[in-house]
């Protein structure tokens, strides 16, 4: 199992966290509130998020061969929600 994390600077972190969780709630096990979110995609893929006033903190857990793809999927969804602002995703090993 591999892990990565990302700090995304934004004033709309809570909005994006909630949008992503609601978007995937029909498909995966999801729990969230305005500050914390967890998406259990499969037994071996998980997304956790924390919203602060200035950033969205994202952590991923997945098999090594799937981690980059999961990062890309999360990035693309959040970018779609954040079409009014330019976001930077700098994934680091966790």
Model confidence band, residue 83 (pLDDT cutoffs 50, 70, 90): confident
Question: Whole-prediction pTM value?
Answer: 0.95
Please write the tens of the pLDDT for every residue from 43-78: 899 999 999 999 999 999 999 999 999 999 999 999
Query: b/e per residue, 51-60, with b = 16+ CB within 10 A?
Result: beeeebbbeb
**H/E element holding 73?**
helix 64-81
- Retrieve residue 7's tokens: 């700090």
**H/E element holding 5?**
strand 2-9
Predicted pLDDT of residue 40? 98
Cα angle 50, 54, 55 (rounded to 5 degrees) comes to 40
Please write the tens of the pLDDT for every residue from 15-36: 999 999 999 999 999 999 999 9
């Amino acid at each position: 199992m591999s892990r990565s994390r990302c700090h995304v600077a934004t004033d709309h972190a809570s909005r994006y966290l909630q949008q992503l969780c609601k978007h995937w709630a029909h498909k995966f096990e999801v729990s969230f509130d305005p500050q914390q979110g967890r998406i259990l995609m499969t037994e071996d893929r998980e997304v956790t998020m924390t919203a602060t006033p200035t950033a969205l903190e994202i952590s991923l857990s997945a098999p090594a061969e799937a981690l980059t793809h999961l990062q890309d999927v999360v990035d693309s969804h959040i970018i779609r929600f954040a079409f009014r602002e330019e976001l930077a995703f700098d994934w680091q090993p966790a």
